[in-house]
Structure 1
Amino acid sequence: MLYTGLVSITFRKLKTDEIIDLVKKAGLQGIEWGGDIHVPHGDLKTAQEVGDATRKAGLEVASYGSYYRVGTNEDVEKSFKDVLLSTSALNAPTIRVWAGNVGSALADEEIWTKIVEESRLIADMAQEKGISVSYEYHGNTLTDTTDSALRLLQEVNHPNIYTYWQPPIDLDFDDRINGLRVVKPWLSHIHAFHWVNREKLELANGENEWRRYLDEVSKVPGDRYVMLEFVRNDLPEQFIEDAEILKKLVDI
């Protein structure tokens, strides 16, 4: 089943209570809380308070959007422990991580090996807490192309590793939807937005494309969130409009 939500870093300038109120007003169902500003790694008091406030408002914590970059940490267990503790305090079911800090075209075998091995380690750590790990589907990481993302997921080969999906802004529609089909066996959540030539536009302008994306996503077994990320001019009013489109799209 598909659920609707917001990625909190869409509104970095808003406080957590303002974001909760906005999501409730929009009639969405969950929030992915960002680890760079709203719920910092290791700040367990904030994590628990934000998680409790989210649920008290009748919303769910969809995931913890950490900014943990796999393969870039000297002491993995110590670095990831803070992320894991914050996720547990939020009572979030999933941690979003980044597959390194180098694009696949520049990544040598040493980088690949480090990211694959560290992915398995953090997947084990999270699994002990009943939490899954999902890669951000993003440029300048090893999920920056369909082929690279597929290679990474296959090489890691861990039952607790998944991937988000979002439409790569430099590809055409056919390449985007083909990439989505390729990663469907590992699919967790979706980040939804509509950009053209790197300009943020109203989701309504991409409604037909998103209807086809979500038709593919709806065929994947299990529950997942489709979460708005980025809105035109970063305006709360635009978010409310986009939320109406998203709710219509998810009800397919």
Structure 2
Amino acid sequence: MTGTNSRVGRAGPVPADPPTPPDAGRTRLGLCSVTFRRLRALEVARYAVHAGLEVVEWGADVHAPAEDPDTVRAVREISDRYGLTCCSYGSYFRASPGEPAGFPAVARAAVLLGAERIRVWAGGTGSRYVQPDERHATVLRLREAARIAADHGLTLATEFHGNTLTDTVASTLRLLDEVNAANVHTYWQPPLDVPDEEALAGLTELGDRVAAVHAFSWWPGNTRLPLAERQSLWTAALGLLDGRGIDTLMEFVPGDDPEVLAHEAAVLRQAAGQTLSAQP
């Protein structure tokens, strides 16, 4: 043994594999800025840090519009000042006719934010009702967006949401296969009015196609409950994701009240098996 980090081969020392970061695979907890649309980006950042969160998905609708690069730069400065990482850019690109022409601006905004991922939407029609030609067109537009994103070093992830082509697990998997781009994945969130067991089975089936999770506790319908009301769901979900480094982002807290964020984050942290001191 040489006592070094090199492997010795016949042609001489071979550099060892780079060390694995100590927190590799750890679930990063964060916030979607759309949760507090009425607050300024500075206030969103302050509440996120106070809650012990480390990543943020800045939304394109209010806080970081792609058509306003100066505002996007200002939001990046706020993130850096408060030690928040922008894990994703919450765009509202829906792969509709004409949108691909505007997608380069979305990609540039994501780069300005320091994001690694862009959230996109898979059309505007549910999988049960979409016509074949509309589905095909959406696939082509997502494929083109994926190409543009790759040119900027970015990945895409589709919102797992009703009235889109990712409204069910089966349709999501089909869409990802049809787009057939290595940098395209999906988000996951518990579907409305679906029992915990069924929701978790869907998360399991999506497997490594999941890039990030939106965390909330709604039941029934879109009635916003504290996370603790469905803590067993989130403990199980984060257990399934443990070790995969999946970002889990809080979204739409009860009453849109920023004062409850710290408590909600503590519940999510408990579900993830983390302590506040473990956060960077």
Q: What TM-score do you get using the length of structure 2 for normalisation?
A: 0.86
User: For 1:98, which of 98, 121, 140 is the aligned residue?
Assistant: 121
Pairwise CA RMSD of aligned residues? 1.2
* 1:242 Cα offset (Å): 0.3
Unmatched segments (≥5 aa) in structure 2: 1-25, 275-280
Q: Indicate the larger mover: 131-140 or 180-189.
A: 180-189
Confirm or deny: 8 A CA contact 1:98 1:136 kept in the other structure.
Answer: yes
CA distance in 1 between partners of 2:198 and 2:271 (Å): 21
* 1:169 Cα offset (Å): 1.1
Partner amino acid for 1:104?
S
Residue 4 of structure 2: aligned partner: none
Deviations 1:131-188 (A, max 9, x none): 1010000000001011111111111121010101000013111221111112122110
Higher helix share: 1
Within 5 A, what are the aligned runs for 1:198-213? Answer: 198-213=222-237
Confirm or deny: 8 A CA contact 1:214 1:249 kept in the other structure.
Answer: yes
* 1:224 Cα offset (Å): 2.4
Within 5 A, what are the aligned runs for 1:168-247? Answer: 168-197=191-220, 198-218=222-242, 221=244, 223-247=245-269
Residue 79 of structure 2: aligned partner: 54
User: For 2:134, which of 85, 92, 111 is the aligned residue?
Assistant: 111
CA distance in 2 between partners of 1:158 and 1:28 (Å): 31
User: For 2:156, which of 124, 129, 133 is the aligned residue?
Assistant: 133
| Divergent runs of 4+, >3 A | none
CA distance in 2 between partners of 1:182 and 1:114 (Å): 26
Partner amino acid for 1:74?
G
Confirm or deny: 8 A CA contact 1:104 1:143 kept in the other structure.
Answer: yes
Confirm or deny: 8 A CA contact 2:93 2:99 kept in the other structure.
Answer: no
Identity of paired residues, percent?
36
- 2:92 partner SS: strand
CA distance in 2 between partners of 1:17 and 1:97 (Å): 24
Residue 13 of structure 1: aligned partner: 38
**Rg: which structure is higher?**
2
- 1:178 partner SS: helix
* 1:192 Cα offset (Å): 0.2
CA distance in 1 between partners of 2:156 and 2:186 (Å): 8
Higher strand share: 1
Residue 33 of structure 1: aligned partner: 58
CA distance in 2 between partners of 1:123 and 1:203 (Å): 34
Q: 1:250 to 1:152 in 2, by over 3 A?
A: same
Unmatched segments (≥5 aa) in structure 1: none
CA distance in 2 between partners of 1:73 and 1:29 (Å): 36
* 1:75 Cα offset (Å): 5.3
User: For 2:93, which of 45, 68, 74 is the aligned residue?
Assistant: 68
Confirm or deny: 8 A CA contact 1:42 1:85 kept in the other structure.
Answer: no
CA distance in 2 between partners of 1:75 and 1:136 (Å): 17
CA distance in 2 between partners of 1:243 and 1:26 (Å): 6
Q: What TM-score do you get using the length of structure 1 for normalisation?
A: 0.95
